[in-house]
Amino acid sequence: MVAELYKAIIVGAPSVGKSSLVRRYQTNEFREDHTATVAADLSAIAFDFPEGKVVLTVVDVGGQETFAGLRNRFYEGAHHLIMVYDMTNKETFKRITPLHEALTDKICIQRDKFLGGSLVANKCDLKNEAVITEQEGRLLADLLQLDYIETSARTGHNVPEMFLHAATESRRLRHNI
C-alpha cells in the first residue's frame, strides 16, 4: 500500500532542544552538548495507522536560521507546525509569538484554515527551574490555536506522543476528519 506523506516543521529559538527531540525519537539517545543546526536537518518517521502507512518528514530548522531569514523554503507545504520553547528560559518563550506571526504569513493555508500545530514546552525534566508555568504555556497555546505539550528530550517524556500527534493532525487536516 502506498504511504501518505506529510511534512512537519520544528521551529524555535536556538538551544531549546529541537534536534534533541528528533534524536530522542529516532535513536533513543540524548547528548548533553549543543551543536547548532545549520540550515535544516531532514528526517523521515514512519507510522502504521489502522488506515495505512504514514511517513512524516520532519524539517528541523536551526534556531539561528529561523530568525536570520524567513525567506527560505523550509516552511513551504508544511502540514504541521511544532513550535518549541525551553521552559527554563523566558526569552525562548517570548520569541514564539513573533515567530508564529511571521510563519502564518509564509506557510500554506488550506481551505482558509491555518495548519495545525503544537506548542512544545521542552526540558520538563528541569521543572523545578522552570520560569514559564504550565498555565502561561497553555494560555499562549490557546491564543495561537496550538496544542500544548510538555516534553523532555533528556528523559523521553512525551516525545513519541508529540510526533504521533503531528502525524495524526496532519492526516486530520488532509482528510478533514
Ligand X SMILES: Nc1nc2c(ncn2[C@@H]2O[C@H](COP(=O)(O)OP(=O)(O)OP(=O)(O)O)[C@@H](O)[C@H]2O)c(=O)[nH]1
Q: Which positions touch ligand X (CB under 6 A)?
A: 14-20, 31-34, 36-37, 62-63, 122-123, 125-126, 152-154
SS3 144: coil
Neighbours of 149 (CB within 10 A): 21
Which cell numbers in the block locate residue 155? 528523559
Least distance CB 62 / ligand X (angstroms): 4
Residue closer to ligand X (CB basis): 13 or 167:
13
In the bound complex, what is the minimum distance in angstroms from residue 60's beta carbon to Mg ion?
6
Closer to ligand X at the Cβ: 146 or 162? 162
Smallest distance from the beta carbon of 14 to ligand X, in angstroms? 4
Residue 159's Cα: distance from chain center in Å? 11
Choose the one of Mg ion, ligand X, none that binds residue 32, judging by a C-beta under 5 to 8 angstroms depending on kind: ligand X
What is the distance between the alpha carbons of residues 164 and 24, in angstroms, rounded to a whole number?
14
Of 15 and 57, which has the nearer Cβ to ligand X?
A: 15
User: How many Å apart are CA 160 and CA 7, to the nearest integer?
Assistant: 16
- Cell digits of residue 110: 488550506
